[in-house]
Amino acid sequence: MPTVAGLANAPTLDSSVSAARERYIARNPASLAQHVEATAVLPGGNTRTVLFHEPFPLVMTRGEGCRLWDADGHAYVDLLGEYTAGLYGHSNPVIRRALDRALDGGWNLGAHGVAEARLARLVVNRFPSIELVRFTNSGTEANLLAIATAVASTGRSRVLVFEGGYHGGLLYFGGGGIPINAPHKFLLGRYNDSEGALALARAHADDLACILVEPMLGSGGCIPAERDFLLNLRTAADETGAVLIFDEVMTSRSSAGGQQARLGIVPDMTTLGKYIGGGMSFGAFGGRRDLMELYNPHRPGALPHAGTFNNNTLTMHAGVAGLEQLFTPEAADALFARGEGLRERLNALCAAAGLAVQWTGLGSLMTIHFQRGAIREPADLTPRSLVKELFHLDMLERGFYFARRGMAALSLEIGTTEEDAFCAAFEAWLDLRSAELSS
């Protein structure tokens, strides 16, 4: 039993976060200086909101394998994995050679190349739903185009999305949505709520263009969709004639054919992004032949799909090399299993500590939540931003680079050594912070 005096001396969450912030500021003067300089020309010194956190974000100056070095010379194991785009790490020689080869041929040729059809072939062969594919520069663009394809092909205007979904900078549905979302007529369902989704779809059957869903809420906290939920969305689309779109920008790494192949559910369209371009700017939308044929420029009245960098040579070459030589179907399965194993280990540590903490996710993607009980939708989440901040700052201090929101995305470069080191650090952290976690 703790004594009264012991309790009085126990660290509080507030005091521990303040102390961690002070140590962070003291440790990172060069990152702070760079941040201050950047604020003169970038709002808040930032050009990518998700990378920002208080008091200021780290500036990284170098990456190699699964390691990063910041402007003050600290080394980190990179567990963020560029929010899943960094599957191949920071310096893979296969990707490097592909980029060199692309550069040797010159860039900005303003013409068709040979690599784009090769990358398209790889994608079509892998994803069950993709008969034809088009490339874009980002996942955001891919989703905007997939929605536009559904609207154009059905002549309808409603788009069913789900609370907590993230489909890009202009398609974010956390907290119901954001003021800068694309101006579509959105219907907002609850994630993993089949009855609600079926009811919404049926109520708007005449005007429902598409259902857009992530097979796992990625940014929304690594909350996997239940198979039944996705099957019911398939039913809702079939009944109403709406286009079912799986946003596999994050979950495509679940297997060679993404989470759709793992679950055996075939949507009408799929959007991709992130690592499939070998770590370069990338997005893609693809699907049923009849839908994608709308873009066939041989056809009179074809839909136009422009984009200066859609087939940029760096992305096309790096993408081909990555899928052909590194992220083979076997490598995809192995990474999924590795991630499941790590999450189990981390959750066993949480259970042994008896604290309100757990990791949710799917394969190599996972997020920490400081609460007990099942998490099936964003409404189940308890916001504990101070604890998340403490975890983030403490882990940075111990040399593990993470998202402030507690998300990890394993790259192919993360090995047993890094996993063991992280599990040991996590176990020690649970012990060190048990008072703060209990408060």
Q: Which residues bind ligand PMP (CB under 6 A)?
A: 83, 138-140, 143, 166-168, 214, 218-219, 247, 249-250, 273, 283
Q: What is the rounded distance in angstroms from the CA atom of residue 214 to the CA atom of residue 193? A: 14
Active-site residue list: 166, 247, 274
Q: How far is CA 359 from the centre of its chain?
A: 16
* Cβ at position 321, least distance to ligand PMP in Å: 20
Q: Considering beta carbons, is residue 161 or 201 the nearer one to ligand PMP?
A: 161
Residue nearest to ligand PMP (CB): 139
Q: Considering beta carbons, is residue 89 or 215 the nearer one to ligand PMP?
A: 215
* Cβ at position 309, least distance to ligand PMP in Å: 13
What region, left, alpha or beta, does residue 382 occupy, with left being phi > 0 and alpha being psi -120 to 50 degrees? beta
* Cβ at position 393, least distance to ligand PMP in Å: 23
Q: Considering beta carbons, is residue 153 or 251 the nearer one to ligand PMP?
A: 251
Q: What is the rounded distance in angstroms from the CA atom of residue 73 to the CA atom of residue 27? A: 10
* Cβ at position 171, least distance to ligand PMP in Å: 7
Q: Which residues contact 26 (CB under 8 A, 6 or more apart)?
A: none
* Cβ at position 168, least distance to ligand PMP in Å: 4
Q: Are 251 and 215 in contact (CB under 8 A)?
A: yes
Q: Considering beta carbons, is residue 68 or 142 the nearer one to ligand PMP?
A: 142
Q: Considering beta carbons, is residue 272 or 321 the nearer one to ligand PMP?
A: 272
SS3 labels along 26-82:
HHCHHHHHHHHHHHCCCHHHCCCHHHCCCCCCCCEEEEECCEEEECCCCEEEECCHH
Q: What is the rounded distance in angstroms from the CA atom of residue 324 to the CA atom of residue 319? A: 8
Phi and psi angles of residue 227, each rounded to the nearest 5 degrees, phi first: -60, -40
